[in-house]
């Protein structure tokens, strides 16, 4: 029965992802060093303002060009997150940060959001944590796609295929 449930979940996950379109890609650098390649997927025909809404599915893929520690991820996220958030969102951020694992060259993190299901963090296809806190998607995807992203150029590249 467990195997059948696993196949059903995998099939549903594939169907959900089939409806997403890659709308942009880019490379994150620290100085001259390449850190990761990123790709952003969402529904076709959206505007940049719509991608962070809770009713819009999204997937951000980050594939690493070098090894990074859990501390590297948390430090980077903290630079992109607002300094003041609700207690519930802060707890959700802490849950996600606790799930981070170090990566080596070639590893990929996926941040996926589905309405009614929440945000999942996956490492090389394995789910590490799922967050269902309302508003978490906009907060965490906002690190790359929000009003004050970590890198404006990367944000522009990731959103390049959206409607103006």
pLDDT in tens, 125-163: 999 999 999 999 999 999 999 999 999 999 999 999 998
pLDDT score, position 30: 87
User: Residue 4's pLDDT is what?
Assistant: 37
Which class is 2-158 in CATH? alpha beta
Q: What residues contact residue 131 under an 8 Å CB cut-off, 6+ apart?
A: 92, 95, 96, 118, 119, 120, 121, 140
In 3D space, the residue among 128, 8, 6 whose CA is nearest the CA of residue 120 turns out to be 128
pLDDT of residue 95: 98
Asked if residues 108 and 124 have their Cβ atoms less than 8 Å apart, the reply is yes
In the chain (164 residues long), the average pLDDT of successive 10-residue segments reads 39 52 96 96 91 96 98 95 96 98 98 97 98 97 95 97 87
**What residue spans define the domains of the chain?**
2-158
- Beta strands 108-114 and 118-123 are antiparallel
Q: What is the pLDDT of residue 18?
A: 54
């Amino acid at each position: 029965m467990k195997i059948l449930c696993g196949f059903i979940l995998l099939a549903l996950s594939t169907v959900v992802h089939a409806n997403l379109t890659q709308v942009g890609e880019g490379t994150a650098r620290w100085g001259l060093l390449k850190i990761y390649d990123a790709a952003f997927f969402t529904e076709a025909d959206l505007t940049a303002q719509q991608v962070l809404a809770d009713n819009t599915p999204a997937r951000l893929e980050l594939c690493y060009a070098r090894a990074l520690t859990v501390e590297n991820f948390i430090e980077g996220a903290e630079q992109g997150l607002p300094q003041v958030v609700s207690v519930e969102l802060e707890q959700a951020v802490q849950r996600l940060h606790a799930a981070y694992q170090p990566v080596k060259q070639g590893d990929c993190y996926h941040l996926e959001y589905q309405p009614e299901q929440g945000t999942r963090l996956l490492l090389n296809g394995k789910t590490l944590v799922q967050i269902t806190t309302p508003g978490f998607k906009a907060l965490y995807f906002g690190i790359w796609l929000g009003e004050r992203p970590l890198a404006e150029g990367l944000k522009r590249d990731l959103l390049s295929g959206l409607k103006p």
